[in-house]
């Protein structure tokens, strides 16, 4: 792996820091204990990964544009005993050469070195995972946080430097992370390829009596079978009324004849996420009532897509989606009055309680940047309708239906490109996909002998 791209990103951030008269302190993610000697799966902090490509825990990057040695990495020392149990470490000696840093120190020296490393700057910009602890011995979070809190409240002396304020590193980085370069786009596209296979496999495998957990296993096996690939977030595999729980992750019910199945699941490829939702009939054929709701949601997505264009406010595409959904609810006699009256009262939020999209990238809900769409950004578009089973304003045939359709788009010069265009979405396409042979989408599962 080349770390050139991460070096370039650090250089760009250093330019920004210089203008702001700030230093940056960016901590890695840390290991979280599940029990005894078992940790939760480790995933590097996105900003730390973006700037270093270095995927070990217990590390801190300090960037100071006012020092000769501008890039400093603190990391774990080599430790043959620990490496026997938990894997290889890069170590302090190799870090500079491998990661193109100016200097590196063992993490235990962070506290001691910090004052000298932050000289020349009047502001600290930082990103520390909340309750960051390097180990039970090194509670550096407390240390940094106490300094930052003090500096927020009043000018403080840190070594020879007066620290007069702090900046959110996310704000400084958002103008970089929001715009995807070619290597990032390649990862995003690979995530879509793998996600397409998984959703198609799930559509083809789905049938009454199948467990939500089985579809989860099927989809996530597709993700994990691919190199540098995994699950971007906890998958939602929600049959029937479970779809009305927006972040349903129990995934432990059996699918029933006549129900819809909502699947919100995406792969993460080389750290970049896909975030895709499809809703389809468990038995492969939409009922007329399901079709009606599906068509409204699809129309909301198509109309709001017209507003995914550089220069337009991101808030506007949400408004457009809401207007289409509200019109649909009025047509179904679920809401009374006009579209504008309902937009004012917000009554519709009972049936559409979430936003229409968010930026996408290293994080599934990615770093926010500005209010407008701009070329190079990636966004989701994910309208839905959720009609409670016990809502007497909803005609009986529509009760308990939950539908969301979510795609991912990259902003181009004058519009957008749908990155997830290959994943079936039109009613006929979806019904055809449900009739497919699921083995077609698992072509890599061949006899290894």
DSSP symbols for 297-342: HHHHHHHHHTT-STTSBHHHHHHHHHHHHHHHHHHTTSS-S-HHHH
275 touches Mn ion by CB under 5 A = yes
Pick the catalytic residue: 309, 386, 409, 416?
A: 386
Pick the catalytic residue: 36, 37, 413, 444?
A: 37
354 given a catalytic annotation = yes
* Closest to ligand GLY by CB, 383 or 400: 383
* Closest to Mn ion by CB, 24 or 364: 364
Identify the sign of the CA torsion 148, 149, 154, 156. negative
Q: How far apart are CA 358 and CA 391, in angstroms?
A: 29
Nearest to 357 by CA among 404, 394, 324: 404
247 given a catalytic annotation = yes
Residue 253 CB-half CA count within 13 A? 18
369 given a catalytic annotation = no
Q: Which residues bind ligand GLY (CB under 6 A)?
A: 233, 264, 275, 364, 382, 406
264 touches Mn ion by CB under 5 A = yes
416 given a catalytic annotation = no
Pick the catalytic residue: 382, 407, 409, 416?
A: 382
* Closest to Mn ion by CB, 264 or 366: 264
Pick the catalytic residue: 10, 177, 358, 416?
A: 358
Q: How far apart are CA 424 and CA 414, in angstroms?
A: 25
Q: How far apart are CA 277 and CA 233, in angstroms?
A: 12
* Closest to ligand GLY by CB, 110 or 373: 373
Residues in the chain: 449
Q: How far apart are CA 417 and CA 272, in angstroms?
A: 17
Pick the catalytic residue: 275, 323, 366, 407?
A: 275
382 given a catalytic annotation = yes
126 given a catalytic annotation = no
Contacted by 233, from ligand GLY, Mn ion, none: CB < 5 to 8 Å by type: ligand GLY
Output the smallest distance, CB 277 to Mn ion, in A: 5
Q: What angle do CA 396, 397, 401 make, to 5 degrees?
A: 100
* Closest to ligand GLY by CB, 127 or 264: 264
380 touches Mn ion by CB under 5 A = yes
Residues annotated as catalytic (active site), given as ranges: 37, 247, 264, 275, 354, 358, 365, 382, 386, 404, 406
């Amino acid at each position: 792996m080349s770390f050139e791209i991460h070096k370039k990103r650090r250089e760009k951030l250093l330019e920004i820091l210089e203008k702001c008269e700030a230093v940056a302190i960016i901590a890695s993610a840390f290991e979280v204990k599940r029990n005894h000697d078992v940790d939760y799966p480790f995933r590097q902090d996105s900003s730390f990964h973006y700037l270093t490509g270095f995927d070990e825990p217990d590390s801190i990057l300090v960037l100071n544009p006012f020092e000769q040695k501008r890039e400093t990495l603190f990391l774990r020392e080599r430790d043959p005993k620990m490496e026997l149990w938990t894997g290889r470490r890069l170590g302090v000696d190799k870090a500079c050469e491998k990661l193109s840093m100016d200097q590196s120190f063992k993490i235990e020296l962070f506290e001691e070195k910090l004052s000298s490393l932050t000289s020349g700057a009047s502001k600290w910009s930082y990103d520390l995972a909340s309750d960051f602890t390097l180990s039970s011995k090194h509670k550096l979070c407390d240390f940094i946080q106490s300094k930052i809190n003090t500096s927020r409240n009043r000018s403080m002396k840190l070594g020879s430097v007066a620290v007069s304020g702090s900046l959110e590193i996310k704000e400084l980085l958002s103008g970089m992370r929001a715009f995807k370069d070619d290597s990032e786009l390649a990862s995003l596209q690979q995530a879509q390829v793998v996600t397409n296979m998984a959703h198609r496999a799930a559509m083809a495998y789905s049938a009454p009596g199948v467990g939500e957990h089985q579809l989860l296993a099927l989809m996530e096996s597709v993700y994990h079978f691919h190199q540098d690939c995994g699950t971007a977030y906890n998958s939602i595999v929600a049959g029937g009324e479970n779809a009305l729980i927006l972040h349903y992750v129990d995934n432990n019910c059996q699918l029933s004849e006549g129900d819809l199945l909502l699947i919100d699941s995406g792969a993460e490829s080389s750290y970049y996420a896909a975030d895709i939702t499809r809703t389809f009939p468990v038995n492969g054929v939409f009922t007329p009532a399901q079709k009606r709701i599906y068509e409204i949601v699809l129309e909301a997505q198509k109309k709001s897509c017209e507003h995914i264009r550089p220069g337009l406010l991101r808030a506007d595409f949400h408004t457009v989606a809401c207007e289409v959904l509200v019109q649909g609810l009025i047509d179904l006699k679920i809401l009374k009055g006009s579209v504008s009256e309902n937009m004012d009262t917000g009554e519709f939020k009972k049936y559409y309680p979430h936003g229409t999209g968010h930026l996408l990238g290293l994080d599934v809900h990615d770093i926010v940047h500005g209010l407008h769409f701009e070329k190079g950004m990636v966004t989701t578009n994910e309208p839905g309708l959720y009609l409670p089973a016990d809502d007497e304003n909803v005609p009986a045939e529509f009760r308990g239906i939950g539908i969301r359709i979510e795609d991912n788009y990259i902003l181009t010069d004058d519009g957008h490109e749908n990155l997830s265009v290959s994943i079936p979405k039109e009613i006929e396409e979806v019904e055809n996909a449900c009739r497919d042979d699921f083995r077609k989408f698992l072509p890599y599962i061949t006899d290894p002998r």
